[in-house]
Structure 1
Amino acid sequence: MPAPKKSAPTLRLELDRDGFAATERLIAYEMVNSMLLTTIELQRVFAMRPLEYQIFTVIAMASVQRFIRQHQRDPAFLDSTPLSAEHRGSISRRRIAETLDLPLETVRRHVAHLIARGEIIETGRGLLSTGGGTLRRSSEAGVMLNMAQRFLAVANRMVQLDAARQESGSEFY
């Protein structure tokens, strides 16, 4: 039996609004560049054009949202193991159109293409989900690790620029 994990030290950063305002252009560049690079990588992994990828991302997030809300402590699914069908959530075409402020027909057209390619599935009456394995696929391509490294680089840059600091009361070893 493996030894129980020790509780990790709690390190929390808090935003310094004045420091952020003083260096906002530099931080905005770092944040947006990180998001853009990650988006481009994921579009390549899934071989999707920007709008199709955006629709796919909304479906992917809806697919995992139910698990995050209800089962986030289930150790069987905290890594990149694909979620089982009973753990996956879903979303309607209409809700996607509302979320992205797109015409419903545009969403329908892209969804039909994504279903034909096997990227998403229809799980019930008009409900869409990923088929499972989306995280594993992007993780195996190295995108998730790159994204985590970029997020940490942005956080470190914010500390360096005095836009973020260690929250009082948090531990640091």
Structure 2
Amino acid sequence: MAAGDRVATVPERMADHWRAGIFPLLNLFLTMHRSLTEHEEMGPSVLLIYCTVCVGNIQKLMRERNVPDAFVATAVLPREWVVPMSRSAIAAATGLPRETVRRHVGHLIDQGLLIEDPRGGVTIVPGAIQDRGYEPLLEKLLTEFARTGEALLRAGVIEVKPGG
């Protein structure tokens, strides 16, 4: 892909290719779930909560048009870029009952995977990518994501549109 190109869905091909499109997407989901739970030995609800907090914590940074170069890799983010998530926000985002979220968040804090933030809510532990050895896991997930993209391109349900 060239700079400015974008990936787009091809609605007119989707209806005739649902199976060819859904298979790589579900396979990606299952591969990601298996990889993540093997790395941290979490059940599905706990993994969902942890991933929700991970995404929620960096949403402010990722909404920037130009993410500062210092923060695109694995550098520990300054706390002003990290958005804590309340247990209520986690419950709303995941669809899990608040009591389930409260219980699992407490367990994740006890395991050292989440911390209470002084501003309220919880965040992932600073430096978790390096300290917990997530780099190889992230590489594995990105490789599977690329395979999924290729499968969707072959199925014709997505395409690369030239920018400009």
TM-score class, shorter: 0.7 to 0.9
What is aligned with 1:124? Answer: 118
What is aligned with 1:111? Answer: 105
Q: Pick from 3, 6, 15 the counterpart of residue 12 of structure 1.
A: 6
Runs of 4+ in 1 over 4 A off after TM superposition: none
Structure-2 change in CA distance of 1:71 and 1:48 (3 Å) = farther
What is aligned with 2:41? Answer: 47
Answer yes or no: is the 8 Å Cα contact 1:121–1:129 preserved in 2: yes
Deviations 1:44-97 (A, max 9, x none): 212211111111111111111122234852111111222232321111011111
Q: Pick from 137, 154, 158 the counterpart of residue 160 of structure 1.
A: 154
Whose radius of gyration is greater, 1 or 2? 1
The one-letter code of the counterpart of 2:67 is R
- Aligned-residue sequence identity (percent) comes to 25
Structure-2 change in CA distance of 1:104 and 1:162 (3 Å) = closer
Structure-2 change in CA distance of 1:170 and 1:53 (3 Å) = same
Q: Using the alignment, how far apart are the partners of 2:125 and 2:65 within structure 1?
A: 18
- How many residues align? The count is 162
| Structure 2 residue 16 is matched with structure 1 residue 22 | yes
Structure-2 change in CA distance of 1:12 and 1:84 (3 Å) = same
Q: Using the alignment, how far apart are the partners of 2:125 and 2:107 within structure 1?
A: 15
| Structure 2 residue 108 is matched with structure 1 residue 98 | no
Structure-2 change in CA distance of 1:17 and 1:106 (3 Å) = same
How far has the Cα of 1:111 moved from its partner? 0.9
Structure-2 change in CA distance of 1:19 and 1:70 (3 Å) = closer
Answer yes or no: is the 8 Å Cα contact 1:15–1:163 preserved in 2: yes
What is aligned with 1:59? Answer: 53
Answer yes or no: is the 8 Å Cα contact 2:57–2:82 preserved in 1: yes
How far has the Cα of 1:19 moved from its partner? 1.6
The one-letter code of the counterpart of 2:58 is V
Deviations 1:11-57 (A, max 9, x none): 32322112222111121011111111112111221221111111111
Q: Using the alignment, how far apart are the partners of 1:105 and 1:15 within structure 2?
A: 38
What is aligned with 1:4? Answer: none
Q: TM-score, normalised by structure 2?
A: 0.86
What is aligned with 1:170? Answer: 163
SS in 2 for 1:132: coil
